[in-house]
Amino acid sequence: MSARTGSSGTADMKNSAIGARLRDARIAHKLTPGEVAVELHLDVDIIEAIERDDMTTLPAPIFVQGYVRSYARLVGLPEDELIREFNAQNAEPPPLTVFSAGNKAPLLRLPSGRLIRNFILVMLGIILLWLAWPFVERLVTSHGGEATDQVPGRLELPPEFEDGQRSEPAS
C-alpha cells in the first residue's frame, strides 16, 4: 500500500506541482528568482507566483503558458510536457465561436476610397480655377486686347492732354 501511495504521490507531484518543478530546476542551476525574471523579461512577482502555482495573481492562462514554456527552456525542463500538464491543470473553456448574423445588405454603401480621392481632387481643381480666374482674366486682357491698339515707341497720354491741348495750372 505504501508503494502505491508513493507512486501516486509522485504522479500527483508531477501533475500538480509545475511551479515546484520549475523552482527545483532553478535552484539546481543556481539561479535566483530575480535572475530568472531578468532573463525572461518578467517581474519577480510573476516568477514567484508561477513557482507557487498561484493562478489568482497571474494574468490570463494563455500568457502564463508562454511564461512557463520560456521558464522551462531556461532551466532545461521539457517544455511540451510542462505545457501539457499546465493545460490539464488549468482547463480553459473552449474558445468562443463567432456566428454570422447573415448576409444583410448594408443600409448605406460607401463608395471606394479611390472614388472619394478622385472626387476631392476634381473639386480642389475646380476651386483653384475659380480662385485663379480673376488673375487669368486680367492677364489675358492686358496681353490680348490692348496690344493691337498700341503703337510701338509711342507714349499714351491721359485724355486731358490729347489733341495738343494743355491745361494750365490753376493759380
> What's 33's domain CATH number?
1.10.260.40
Q: Tell me the CA distances in angstroms from 29 to 6, 16, 45, 68, one per residue in order.
A: 27, 22, 20, 16
Instruction: Examine the domain organization and report whether 119 and 78 are in the same domain.
Output: no
Instruction: Examine the domain organization and report whether 18 and 69 are in the same domain.
Output: yes
Instruction: Examine the domain organization and report whether 66 and 121 are in the same domain.
Output: no
Residue 37: per-residue pLDDT: 92
Reading the block at residue 36, the C-alpha cell is: 530568472
Residue 2: per-residue pLDDT: 37
Give CA–CA dist 17/11, Å, rounded: 10
69 domain-assigned: yes
Residue span of the structural domain in which 59 resides: 12-89
Instruction: Examine the domain organization and report whether 17 and 65 are in the same domain.
Output: yes
Instruction: Examine the domain organization and report whether 32 and 76 are in the same domain.
Output: yes
Instruction: Examine the domain organization and report whether 77 and 123 are in the same domain.
Output: no
3 domain-assigned: no
Q: 91 CB contacts (<8 Å, ≥6 apart)?
A: none
Instruction: Examine the domain organization and report whether 16 and 72 are in the same domain.
Output: yes
Residue 159: per-residue pLDDT: 74
Instruction: Examine the domain organization and report whether 25 and 69 are in the same domain.
Output: yes
pLDDT along the chain (171 residues), means of 10: 39 62 93 92 91 87 89 91 85 66 70 88 94 85 61 70 60 53
165 domain-assigned: no
Give CA–CA dist 41/32, Å, rounded: 14
Burial of 82: CB neighbours in 10 Å, binned 0-12, 13-18, 19+: buried
| CB atoms inside a 10 Å sphere around CB 49 | 19
Residue 167: per-residue pLDDT: 56
Instruction: Examine the domain organization and report whether 22 and 81 are in the same domain.
Output: yes
107 domain-assigned: no
Residue 162: per-residue pLDDT: 64
Number of folded domains that form the chain: 2
